[in-house]
Structure 1
Amino acid sequence: MNGHTDTVDLDGLVDRYLDIWNDTDPAARREKIDTLFAGDGRYVDPLATARGRGEFDELVAGAQRQFAGLTFRRGRVFDAHHDLARFTWELAADRDAEPIAVGFDVVEVDGTGRIHRVSGFLDVVPA
């Protein structure tokens, strides 16, 4: 196979990415972002955009304030090839609760294995 999937664990990268969204300790979250994201990484979804680690950290902190007490979890879909992974996610009160939001993200990694771009899509959003 040709591409980063030979050397980058994209499945594990998705878990670490979602862990960022659930980490409410600002210092620990920022450390995870600095490790996982490229310095010029970009995040875009229908509601928000962020360029760079600082803007992404602010975006996550804002989502945590808006959805306090809720947790992002992986959905059922995961697929990866080359330097791309797509996966579904859910936002819910706990592991067994009905999600209030559902979406999917496409993550692209750079040559160092860090996230270069996240493109998010929303399938179900809170009313």
Structure 2
Amino acid sequence: MNNTTDLTEAEMNSLVQKHLTIWNEKDATKRLELMKNVYAPNIEIVDSHLVAIGYEKINAFINMLQEKNPQGGFTPIKPVDINHNIARIFWENGTPENPAIVTGMDLLVFEQGKAAHLYVFVDIENKL
């Protein structure tokens, strides 16, 4: 099983940072274009709230999250960890006044140079 394209650590770090940029982008059209550079067309996301495949469903989920917390944003709280074609990033999501409304970790599996799987683990969800 070798359907991966080797990425350097720097390339994977860059893709993970772009992944966070996608989730922080407020414009759905821009976000969709960014997704095409980072995610495989059939990317699968597994989150406690949904399992979805593809750009459109993920974009709709991000829209819903941003509607709940329009001033929110994802910020890394630890450096990216990389193991072969897998990267994980620990993050917080909140407002400038309360940066850790939600904390968690994303695990991205890269295939053919793009993220093919995204597993989201949420630690805490505090009320606004």
Which range, TM-score by smaller chain?
A: 0.7 to 0.9
Instruction: After TM superposition, give the deviation of residue 36 of structure 1 in Å.
Output: 1.2
Contact (CA 8 Å) 1:105, 1:118: kept in 2 or not? yes
Whole-Å separation in 2 of the counterparts to 1:64 and 1:98:
15
2:32 matches 1:30? yes
Contact (CA 8 Å) 1:5, 1:80: kept in 2 or not? no
Which 4+ residue blocks in structure 1 deviate beyond 2 angstroms? 3-8
Aligned equivalent of 1:4: 6
Aligned equivalent of 1:126: 126
* Structure 1 residue runs without a partner (length 5+): none
Aligned equivalent of 1:115: 115
SS of residue in 2 equivalent to 1:43: strand
Instruction: After TM superposition, give the deviation of residue 7 of structure 1 in Å.
Output: 7.3
Whole-Å separation in 1 of the counterparts to 2:121 and 2:78:
15
Whole-Å separation in 2 of the counterparts to 1:8 and 1:108:
15
Among 78, 81, 84, which residue is 1:79 paired with?
81
- How many residues of Structure 1 are paired with residues of Structure 2 in the alignment? 123
Distance 1:23 1:77, change over 3 A: same
TM-score w.r.t. structure 1 length?
0.88
Q: CA RMSD in A?
A: 1.8
Distance 1:8 1:77, change over 3 A: closer
Aligned equivalent of 1:70: 72
Residues 40-65 of structure 1, C-alpha deviations (whole Å, 9 max, x = no match): 11011112222011111111111111
Between stretches 76-85 and 15-24, larger displacement belongs to: 76-85
TM-score w.r.t. structure 2 length?
0.87
Contact (CA 8 Å) 1:102, 1:124: kept in 2 or not? yes
2:106 matches 1:105? yes
Q: Percent identity?
A: 23
Residues 75-116 of structure 1, C-alpha deviations (whole Å, 9 max, x = no match): 11421021100110100213x7441110001001112x1110
Distance 1:98 1:61, change over 3 A: closer
SS of residue in 1 equivalent to 2:123: strand
Distance 1:115 1:65, change over 3 A: same
